[in-house]
Structure 1
Amino acid sequence: MGGLHFIMINIRTHIFRASSVIGLMLFLLGCSTYNQSIAPYYKSVSTANYAQAEKDLDKNSLIQKPRNKLLYLMEKGRISHLRGEYENSNKYFNEADQLLDQGLTSASDEAVGVLLNSMSQRYKGEDFEKFMIHYYKALNYLYLHKTEDAIVEARRITLQANTQGDKFNNKDSRYSNDAFSLMLQGMLYESNNDVNNAFISYRNAAEIYLKSPDKTYYGTPMPLGLQQDVIRTAQLNGFTTEADQFETTFGINYQPTKPSEGGDLIFFWENGLAPVKTQVDLFFSLIRNSDGNLFFTDAAGGLVIPFDYNGDRSKVNTKSVESLRAAFPKYVAQTPYYSSASIISNNTQIPFVKAEDINELAFKTLQQRMLKEMGKVLSRLAVKKIAEYSVRAAAESNGKTNGLLEGLGYGLQLYSLLSEKADTRNWQTLPAYISYARIPLQKGDNQVSIKLTNAQGAIETKTINVQGTGKLQFYNYATLR
């Protein structure tokens, strides 16, 4: 009987060692980030091989999973846009819009987040990504000569802003509106000769900047063009008092110019690629204060996060819950190949002005919600640890070892190790920055050149022909590397 007992212990030991080795292998294999998992697609985009990029996307098993459908649709819409397939692009973006309207949160999805990790939940999109859907949809409609549909998209920017405002009760300092989207909205209204709504949109965009002491919004200074657009459209509407007030506020003396015979071209330059998410591991301990409340603290003691535990807190043995390894997402910026650019039209050089800094938006919005994210992750880990040690304690009761419970305890430990993973997903083919220039056109044929300069000072030039029709037109150009 003693020999049998020894054999059983030996078997359990070998099983545990084997499962630990297997678990470590699975853990290392499962640690690849989203960016690493779609690397071929990402590389094809950065080299402007959009046909291959679409093939890479369609055969990637990760992005094909139902939980990643929103990401798939946004990427498909982006690639179709880059290929000039504007109708097809909006088919995907409209489907993405429908998913967002229906809502991507459910009780079962929340349970997945509690039991596994947020990477296993349905991707719900970053707030700034939702605004960017409207940007590309509006451009697609304009290129398809569907002006009314583009105007509908302009109105939806306001609805998106209202949704964000409701989310944060309009009192939160977090990202709840998008100054660039409101600028775009004003441009779209202006292209439809609706100067009243154009003024309202430009004014709303300017007021977002003015709320900041340095007149910047997420890394973007207020463009001079926006200041001039506010005053110009105020004057066109006969709002002389408002025009004078904004001149004083902006500290400029605006002198209206004669409209160009050929109209104007709004040229958007989309440079670089959005930052990617990687995983960073932090270690926390569970502590109890004098009131009996539970908290997590990091090794340096700089972070103290409450543990909202639904069970009996008095029975939680903080000593048994050893140091917790928590995985969190972290953005890493991608350095664009081109460092600057300018426009040359009709022998005049026009500088680009930054309108949207997606890098800054990504970093700041993640930072704003990080404490909440940490609380969710740590609570999930602590609950798993408490369950693990409860089972292992039960296995050693009455001076005897219950092999089944002991194995279950180690299984919970292994499960906790394997399931811990940060959500490293994001819409990665968005540009890092969007800059714009407003170009006056002559009637008829115009040659417009974009002069690109890289970090080594080398210059490349691309020229397009634009027909000056007397109306406001749009063009976007992407350098995604």
Structure 2
Amino acid sequence: MVLGRTIDIMQRTSVLIVLMFFLFGCASYHDRITDYYTKVGAGDYVEAEKALDKNSLIQKDRNKLLFLMEKGRLAHLKGAYEESNTYFNEADLLIEDAVTKVGDVAVGLFLNSMSQSYKGEEFEIFMIHYYKSLNYLYLGLSQEALVEARRITLQNYSQGDKYKDKSTRYSKDAFSLILQGMIYESTGNYNDAFISYRNAVEVYKTSKGTYYGVSMPEQLKHDVIRLAAYNGFTGEQRAYEKEFGIKANADKSKEGRELVLFWENGMAPIKEEENVIFTLVEGEKGSLFFTNALGIMIPIDLGISGSTSFNGVHSLNIAYPKYIVQPTPYFSAFVKDSKGDTKQLQLVEDIDALAVMTLKERAGKELGKILTRMAVKKSAEYALKAAAKSNGQNGDANAVLEGIGFGVQLFNMLSEKADTRNWQSIPAKISYVRLPLQSGENTIDVVMERPSGQRTTHSITLDGKKGIQFYNFATMR
């Protein structure tokens, strides 16, 4: 009787725990760090850093990469470029030295991926290269920027090796190749610059002109033709001129003065959790797979399930992440130079599209892990309940089994959580423009237009030195 009352107390206490879980445990990563994102979005970088440094969630070891990326981005926004690269270099080492640890893998298999160390999305890793390159250029460290440019190639190779069908996967990053070309060009590596531009063109052509929400920029077409002409690659020059209907600009030389301007608009999408119901069905030759109302079919992940019996498992309600795209503050922009000439900025990277589409691409693999993990946990729960029923003659043992079974059920409920982490302070979209500069002081106005029609001007004053200069700025709200 005492044991039975103990089990009853355990069950009542568990109900309270469940209620507390729904009140506090369902909060997404964004919800728990929203104070930081509100402040950084408002441009209050000092208070944003205080909010980041005191946030207990991002301070956890499993979130160290996120912490370093946010600190690096924040330092860059403040103009502390050396400090920014200190954080990004540490993030780089964390990514490169990331060895799959048995404990970390076990946590993912039997608890949830939110409890694993955050490893970063591929496009987030490319963004580290972007900010590091700009930091080095602003610090006057052109050779270090060149090293970073070369690392972009290695990252693209690493990413491409993951997919057999590169025409439908995020196997390269076109923007990073364009950035690489401009860094090479700014340091006098004109042959390498042409190769980078050509590689970027091929990425767009392979995907029929549009790559993850971005059409091939007109600027890229001009750049690949210009560098082909400059390097004396007459055959490729003429082929691109014919394909794009553009003639090489013979007036453009390496001795010119030019500005490359990047406009970072908005903030990356937010990750939230949604519930998806799947049914376990038997296929041919006894194979098992999950399906849902949309007709998605996911096979059991044998690497996780092993020899587990799934008798009694019929349907599963799983937690899966989804991206919520945030409205960008502006939808277009153009620049006006000192002479009054205007030029439109062109979209070159769409983080919104990348996030949503790459998550969709790997959905099959991710869902397979989650569903199999849930099915294994459910099987253990059902096995304990079945053992309790079949052991009806022994009251105390039966009560113990019932208590353990309820505990497993509670654990399954509380531990199932979608991974809602991501680097949210990076821009939603990046646009760029290349502008000729005059000798002496230049004033450049970037005129941005809101959906309401209201316009805001961001003014830049700089000296027109020989060669290529870089400039980037962000509008988050």
- The TM-score with structure 2 as length reference comes to 0.95
2:136 to 138, 141, 157: 141
Task: Name the structure 1 match of 2:437.
Answer: 441
Task: Name the structure 1 match of 2:370.
Answer: 377
Q: Deviations over 1:382-411 (max 9, x none)?
A: 000000111111112243351111100000
State the one-letter code of the partner of 1:422: A
CA distance in 1, matches of 2:347, 2:251: 23
Partner secondary structure for residue 285 of structure 2: coil
Q: Is the 8 A contact 2:335 2:447 kept in 1?
A: yes
> Does 2:220 match 1:226?
yes
Q: Which residues of 2 match residues 407-426 of structure 1 at below 5 A? A: 407-426=403-422
Alpha-carbon offset, residue 28 of structure 1? 3.6
Q: Which residues of 2 match residues 325-344 of structure 1 at below 5 A? A: 325-344=317-336
Partner secondary structure for residue 325 of structure 1: strand
Q: Is the 8 A contact 1:219 1:357 kept in 2?
A: yes
Partner secondary structure for residue 56 of structure 2: coil
Alpha-carbon offset, residue 11 of structure 1? 5.0
Q: Which residues of 2 match residues 308-323 of structure 1 at below 5 A? A: 308-309=301-302, 310-312=305-307, 315-317=309-311, 320-323=312-315
Alpha-carbon offset, residue 291 of structure 1? 2.2
State the one-letter code of the partner of 1:48: G
Task: Name the structure 1 match of 2:105.
Answer: 110
2:32 to 27, 33, 37: 37
Alpha-carbon offset, residue 258 of structure 1? 4.7
1:461 to 454, 457, 461: 457
Task: Name the structure 1 match of 2:361.
Answer: 368
Task: Name the structure 2 match of 1:389.
Answer: 382
State the one-letter code of the partner of 1:478: A
Task: Name the structure 2 match of 1:291.
Answer: 285
Task: Name the structure 2 match of 1:75.
Answer: 70
Q: Is the 8 A contact 1:73 1:93 kept in 2?
A: yes
Q: Is the 8 A contact 2:328 2:476 kept in 1?
A: yes
> Does 2:420 match 1:427?
no
CA distance in 2, matches of 1:470, 1:301: 58
State the one-letter code of the partner of 1:469: K
State the one-letter code of the partner of 2:223: D
State the one-letter code of the partner of 1:475: Y
Q: Which residues of 2 match residues 194-273 of structure 1 at below 5 A? A: 194-213=189-208, 215-259=209-253, 263-273=257-267
Q: Is the 8 A contact 2:281 2:314 kept in 1?
A: no
- Seen in structure 2, the aligned counterparts of structure 1 residues 194 and 316 have a Cα distance that, compared at 3 Å, is closer
> Does 2:353 match 1:357?
no
Q: Is the 8 A contact 1:261 1:442 kept in 2?
A: no
Give the stretch that moved more between structures: 247-256 or 423-432: 247-256
Alpha-carbon offset, residue 162 of structure 1? 1.1
Partner secondary structure for residue 252 of structure 1: coil
Alpha-carbon offset, residue 167 of structure 1? 2.2
CA distance in 2, matches of 1:133, 1:354: 19
- Seen in structure 2, the aligned counterparts of structure 1 residues 305 and 28 have a Cα distance that, compared at 3 Å, is farther
Task: Name the structure 2 match of 1:180.
Answer: 175
Q: Is the 8 A contact 1:117 1:419 kept in 2?
A: yes
Q: Is the 8 A contact 1:262 1:468 kept in 2?
A: no
Partner secondary structure for residue 177 of structure 2: helix
2:42 to 47, 57, 61: 47
Task: Name the structure 2 match of 1:348.
Answer: 341
Q: Deviations over 1:34-82 (max 9, x none)?
A: 1111000000011011111111111000000000111110000000000
Q: Is the 8 A contact 2:254 2:467 kept in 1?
A: no
CA distance in 1, matches of 2:433, 2:250: 18
State the one-letter code of the partner of 1:381: M
CA distance in 2, matches of 1:178, 1:301: 31
Q: Is the 8 A contact 2:229 2:248 kept in 1?
A: no
CA distance in 2, matches of 1:179, 1:290: 42
Task: Calculate percent identity across the aligned residue pairs.
Answer: 53
CA distance in 1, matches of 2:63, 2:257: 42
Alpha-carbon offset, residue 287 of structure 1? 2.1
Q: Is the 8 A contact 1:260 1:442 kept in 2?
A: no
Task: Name the structure 2 match of 1:101.
Answer: 96
Q: Is the 8 A contact 2:267 2:328 kept in 1?
A: yes
Partner secondary structure for residue 277 of structure 1: strand
Alpha-carbon offset, residue 22 of structure 1? 1.9
- Seen in structure 2, the aligned counterparts of structure 1 residues 64 and 15 have a Cα distance that, compared at 3 Å, is same
State the one-letter code of the partner of 1:440: P
For structure 2, the 5+ residue unaligned runs are none
Alpha-carbon offset, residue 316 of structure 1? 3.1
- Seen in structure 2, the aligned counterparts of structure 1 residues 24 and 239 have a Cα distance that, compared at 3 Å, is same
Task: Name the structure 2 match of 1:479.
Answer: 475
- The TM-score with structure 1 as length reference comes to 0.94
CA distance in 2, matches of 1:377, 1:312: 17
Task: Name the structure 2 match of 1:158.
Answer: 153
